[in-house]
Structure 1
Amino acid sequence: MTPMFYFLLVSTAVLAATAKAGEPVVDTDGNLISNGSYYAVPVSHYEGALTLASGGANPCPLYVGPELSRRNKGLPLRFSNWGSGARFVPESENLNIKMDLPPTIFAGPKPETGKDSSKSFFQIKKAGGVLRGYKFVYCGGDKSCYEFGMVVDRYGYSRLAPSKSNLPFRFVFVKAD
């Protein structure tokens, strides 16, 4: 066997040993986020927590938007399908996010969100800056990623959507009871 083979073998072993999941995402009590339900509570006092919102005259909630009262914690979220196999939700890793609630009107068919069924995922990243907290990032199949923020549509309704204004929705996680 050649010296190059041994070099590659040792290099691969070192890289495999040092590879790890991202930093763990934690709640306001410092506990690791895992398989439970959590509220995404905004760090800003000017935004409401996340809930389902309708589009004006439409009675069915179609969008994720802010709670009208800042005292409400919103609807809890649940995370799944992060790929590292860690027992906690790692920061900056592809995962699925869903609101943890029963259907409100008519749910229709539930889409499959298994590990390999989608080429687009959400990520949770540290927001940084003065307010700190976390932010949601959506990464599409073309490897482009977009921060999510509250966007006001032409009718005056706020929605959680890809934000071009570089003002992400910053939040902390609070364990749901």
Structure 2
Amino acid sequence: MNPMFYFLLALTAVLTVTVSPGKPVLDIHGDIIFDGSYYVLPRISGPGDGGLTLSSRGDDWCPLYFKLEYSEMDVKATICGQSTYWYVPPVEPITVIEALFIAAGPKPSNGFFQIKKIKDALGGYKIVFCVNNNDCSDIGIFVDKQGVRRFTLSSTPFEVRFMKAIETEPSSKPIMSII
């Protein structure tokens, strides 16, 4: 598998890397995920599956939101200078649907993201947003009016795998780091 096929994603310590006490998160080679850079891959990929990246919504350059690309060729540079912590923007009465999208921005104070093991024979993980340890929502994909596949709070999880990024690989893609 060519790792350059997949997008890299900037990710920071807000994403907890343990599934539960005593059960570490493993990459596709069965190695425990430690500090470093990793590809976030769809658990089951097919035609039209790219990887995670950041993009603006509408005509505004900022803030940036997480989305799933359709192919490797869709890579675009961004000029929005902001943090790449994952967060759920605060709810405002006029823009409730926007609050469901996962954005890059300030370190969240209203909750945390966590990686959870999927319990089936194929293995893999899902990412959830938790307000506390018992109240968590899955992160899934929502296709907006422009056909952009955006990360959002969802009842259907987007299932992922992780692959260690080799630092000698040339790439113009953003790096996903687990700290």
For normalisation by structure 2, the TM-score amounts to 0.56
Query: Partners of 2:56 and 2:150 in 1: how far apart?
Result: 10
Match of residue 143 from structure 2: 152
Q: Residue 48 and residue 130 in structure 1: after superposition, are their counterparts in 2 closer, same or farther (change >3 A)?
A: farther
In the alignment, is residue 48 of structure 1 matched against residue 50 of structure 2? yes
Q: Residue 36 and residue 137 in structure 1: after superposition, are their counterparts in 2 closer, same or farther (change >3 A)?
A: same
In 2, are the aligned partners of 1:64 and 1:159 still within 8 Å (CA)? yes
Larger deviation: 133-142 or 34-43?
Answer: 133-142
State the 1:158 CA deviation: 1.2
State the 1:23 CA deviation: 0.4
User: Which of 109, 118, 124 does residue 109 from structure 2 map onto?
Assistant: 118
In 2, are the aligned partners of 1:134 and 1:171 still within 8 Å (CA)? yes
Q: Residue 61 and residue 142 in structure 1: after superposition, are their counterparts in 2 closer, same or farther (change >3 A)?
A: same
Q: Residue 124 and residue 108 in structure 1: after superposition, are their counterparts in 2 closer, same or farther (change >3 A)?
A: closer
In the alignment, is residue 127 of structure 1 matched against residue 108 of structure 2? no
Match of residue 102 from structure 2: none
- SS of 2:24's equivalent in the other structure is coil
Match of residue 172 from structure 1: 161
State the 1:57 CA deviation: 4.2
Q: Residue 149 and residue 108 in structure 1: after superposition, are their counterparts in 2 closer, same or farther (change >3 A)?
A: closer
In the alignment, is residue 105 of structure 1 matched against residue 96 of structure 2? no
> What are the Cα deviations for residues 43-82 of structure 1, in whole angstroms up to 9, with x where unaligned?
222443211123244455721111221x58x9xxxxxxxx
Structure 1: any 5+ residue segments left out of the alignment?
1-19, 75-102
Q: Residue 68 and residue 61 in structure 1: after superposition, are their counterparts in 2 closer, same or farther (change >3 A)?
A: farther
State the 1:135 CA deviation: 0.5
Q: Which has the higher strand share?
A: 2
> What are the Cα deviations for residues 115-144 of structure 1, in whole angstroms up to 9, with x where unaligned?
xx7241011011234653110000015942
- The aligned runs of 1:30-49 (5 Å cut-off) are 30-46=30-46, 47-49=49-51
For normalisation by structure 1, the TM-score amounts to 0.57
Sequence identity (%): 41
Structure with the greater relative contact order (CA < 8 A, sep ≥ 6): 1 or 2?
A: 2
Structure 2: any 5+ residue segments left out of the alignment?
1-19, 85-104, 167-179
Q: Residue 29 and residue 130 in structure 1: after superposition, are their counterparts in 2 closer, same or farther (change >3 A)?
A: closer
- SS of 1:148's equivalent in the other structure is strand
From the CA coordinates, give the structure whose radius of gyration is larger.
Answer: 1
Q: Residue 56 and residue 173 in structure 1: after superposition, are their counterparts in 2 closer, same or farther (change >3 A)?
A: same
In the alignment, is residue 67 of structure 1 matched against residue 69 of structure 2? yes
> What are the Cα deviations for residues 77-96 of structure 1, in whole angstroms up to 9, with x where unaligned?
xxxxxxxxxxxxxxxxxxxx
Q: Residue 131 and residue 65 in structure 1: after superposition, are their counterparts in 2 closer, same or farther (change >3 A)?
A: farther
